[in-house]
A and B are shown apart, each in its own frame.
Chain A
Amino acid sequence: MDNYLLVISSGLQTTIQDLGRKEFRSYGVPISGAMDKYSAILANKLLNNEEGLPVMEMVIIGPKIMFEDNTSIVITGADMSPKLNGKPIESNLVYEVKISDVLSFGKLIFGSRTYLGVKEGFNTEKKLNSYSYYKGITKKSIIEKGDRLKIGYHPSEFDFTSSRIKVKKHHFNTNALEVTKGPEFSRLSKKQREFLFSKIFEIDSLNNRMGYQLKNEFIKIDKNEIITSSVIPGTVQLTSSGKLIILMRDCPTTGGYPRILQLTDISINQLAQKKTGDKFKFKLEGSFSFLSRLVKSLKD
């Protein structure tokens, strides 16, 4: 049995995302997936879904949605003043919704990306083992007004117990992003390294799922191109015009600019919650202490 929800208005850049395509990079296919994986996984966990099920990702301005069938929902990530039938609801708390209930969003309070999880996940088109929207891979690359999206079946007698989770504000407002050294870090002079770890960087208006450009002018390096090589989400490129670009989930598989830093997985999620004009510093961390901490965080 197919259940649906109807998109009444689309919001700014609303898409369906899961944890991405991991096995097709050698064919030039980007990983994609939720920009803030932490919040996407949290939405699924709160619903007792498998953590990798597709969720709806929205940016700055949320959509308006009418449910055509009963289900359970949860909102995670940025606070966009969510409302159910006009009444404010809380983030990180599961709500039962009934046929013709309307979910809407208002003012952005903090963060940049909000996730809507539904019981059993979204059941939209799956291409190359993933539901993540990407132009040229999935037929749809963005959610539009009038779209009817298939969602998982949710029996009405389903009994639910879910606890309220409080997400640390730090996830949204940290002003230090942890990084490791990138493959071309050694090309930087002492002066450039000092600049990199002392300056406050500001996010340019050129920021989207593919990457975040930074406003600051960086000290140019002599050898400013590399032989085309692999790039991954979180790679910080130094372009020949002296700009820094932090690649995000939809980035190409290869690039030709020096890769001077690499954001940790946690920092990518934190950056995904930042927007134009937000400021932060880079904080260097040894890759191995980071890895051991990652392993620990997965065990917790």
Chain B
Amino acid sequence: MENYKLKYKPFGSISVLIEWPQKIDIEIIKDINQFRTALQYNMNGLILDTVPAYNSLTVFFDTSKIKYKSAVNRIKEIYNIKNKEPISNAKIWKIPVCYDDEFGIDLEEISITKKITKQEIIRIHSDIIYDLYFIGFLPGFLYLGGLSEKIQINRKPIPRKKINKGSVGIAGNQTGIYPRASPAGWNIIGNSPINIFDVETNPPCFASSGDKIQFIPIDKKKHFEIKEEVKNGNYLIQSKTYG
């Protein structure tokens, strides 16, 4: 993989914003994650956090241990020597989703608008393995890439005041899971009984940037059972490594 031409911009007093070309591209996401891994390995103790987004990485460093200028120089060096191989410990997470009408409150409308059956929408949505681009906006909100054009639909003209925790939605070319009850403008097609974000675990989210997400259709009975298991603390999210 070729190195990209990156821009380094000072951002606040303890961080630098590193920018890739301005487009949404899985190759850029992979490059960001490799760089991120290399920084965590090579600047362990000097870095407080690294925050990826579609085409940027913000590196927060400990200014009591390293000065801004030397931090940026060190970061630039690491980009040039970083491993070009894909990260091998990335995971595919299997997220159970119940697409029953009780949860998929917008399935009917999408079916009419897109002129495809509900079963077909569910098949298309759960067939794809999505790339987890990054987590942002709110605690545990996963930005996923790869939604099929066949089921891309505009966000709702009037957002709902409140949707349930675990709601699975689609809007434009995005799909995602609401980690907690919140207002929502996305079209809701199902619900996942698992905790996407759990403040009692460290890290608070099982997945991280660079992983993949697969939605596994389940029925209402299974949704109920998993919800109980989650509540009792004995549900284990299935995953496998790839790459």
Residues of chain A at the chain B interface (Cβ within 8 Å)? 22-30, 127-128, 136-137, 180, 183, 226-230, 232-235, 252-255, 262, 264-265, 287-288, 290-291, 294-295
* 29 contacts across the A-B interface (CB closer than 8 A): A22-B60, A24-B139, A24-B204, A25-B49, A25-B51, A26-B208, A27-B135, A28-B139, A28-B140, A28-B205, A128-B199, A128-B202, A136-B138, A136-B180, A136-B199, A137-B139, A183-B17, A226-B22, A228-B53, A228-B137, A229-B17, A229-B54, A229-B55, A230-B58, A232-B11, A232-B15, A235-B12, A254-B137, A288-B68
In the assembled complex, which residues on chain B have CB atoms less than 8 Å from the CB atom of A287?
Answer: 10
Complex Cα spacing A148 to B199, Å? 23
Complex Cα spacing A228 to B11, Å? 16
Cβ-defined contact, A183 with B51, below 8 A: no
Cβ-defined contact, A254 with B136, below 8 A: yes
Complex Cα spacing A98 to B60, Å? 43
In the assembled complex, which residues on chain A have CB atoms less than 8 Å from the CB atom of B22?
Answer: 226-227
Cβ-defined contact, B54 with A228, below 8 A: yes
In the assembled complex, which residues on chain B have CB atoms less than 8 Å from the CB atom of A230?
Answer: 11, 17, 51, 53, 56, 58, 136
Cβ-defined contact, B203 with A252, below 8 A: no
In the assembled complex, which residues on chain A have CB atoms less than 8 Å from the CB atom of B6?
Answer: none
- List 9 other contacts, CB 8 Å, given A24-B139, A183-B11: A27-B197, A28-B136, A28-B139, A28-B205, A230-B11, A230-B136, A232-B12, A234-B12, A288-B10
A264 nearest in chain B by CB position: B13
Cβ-defined contact, B49 with A26, below 8 A: yes
Cβ-defined contact, A22 with B12, below 8 A: no
B56-99 with Cβ < 8 A to chain A: 56, 58, 60, 63, 67-68
Cβ-defined contact, B9 with A28, below 8 A: no
Complex Cα spacing A196 to B203, Å? 41
Cβ-defined contact, A26 with B10, below 8 A: no
Complex Cα spacing A23 to B19, Å? 21
- For the A-B complex, the count of residue pairs with Cβ-Cβ distances under 8 Å equals 115
- Nearest-CB distance from A258 to chain B (Å)? 12
- Nearest-CB distance from A201 to chain B (Å)? 20
- We find that the number of chain B residues with CB closer than 8 angstroms to chain A is 43
Cβ-defined contact, A290 with B140, below 8 A: no
Complex Cα spacing A278 to B68, Å? 33
B1-50 with Cβ < 8 A to chain A: 9-13, 15, 17, 19, 22-24, 48-50
In the assembled complex, which residues on chain A have CB atoms less than 8 Å from the CB atom of B68?
Answer: 288, 291
Q: B143 in the interface, Cβ–Cβ < 8 Å?
A: yes
Cβ-defined contact, A26 with B50, below 8 A: yes
Which of A27, A262, A295 is close to B139, meaning CB atoms less than 8 Å apart? A27
Complex Cα spacing A151 to B199, Å? 23
In the assembled complex, which residues on chain B have CB atoms less than 8 Å from the CB atom of A226?
Answer: 22
In the assembled complex, which residues on chain B have CB atoms less than 8 Å from the CB atom of A255?
Answer: 137
A24 nearest in chain B by CB position: B204
B180-232 with Cβ < 8 A to chain A: 180, 197, 199, 202-205, 208-209
Q: B166 in the interface, Cβ–Cβ < 8 Å?
A: no
Q: B169 in the interface, Cβ–Cβ < 8 Å?
A: no
- Nearest-CB distance from A140 to chain B (Å)? 13
- Nearest-CB distance from A300 to chain B (Å)? 15
- Nearest-CB distance from B162 to chain A (Å)? 14
Which of A25, A26, A290 is close to B13, meaning CB atoms less than 8 Å apart? A290
Top 10 nearest A-B pairs (CB, nearest first) are A254-B136, A230-B58, A287-B10, A229-B56, A229-B53, A28-B135, A27-B205, A28-B139, A25-B51, A227-B54
Cβ-defined contact, B12 with A262, below 8 A: yes
- With known contacts A27-B203, A227-B23, A294-B13, A22–B136 Cβ distance under 8 A: no
Complex Cα spacing A26 to B205, Å? 10
Chain B CB within 10 Å — which of A22, A226, A228 has the most? A228
Q: B104 in the interface, Cβ–Cβ < 8 Å?
A: no
- With known contacts A26-B209, A28-B135, A183–B9 Cβ distance under 8 A: yes
Complex Cα spacing A180 to B11, Å? 9
Chain A CB within 10 Å — which of B13, B53, B199 has the most? B13
Cβ-defined contact, A27 with B137, below 8 A: no
- Nearest-CB distance from B24 to chain A (Å)? 6
Cβ-defined contact, B204 with A128, below 8 A: yes
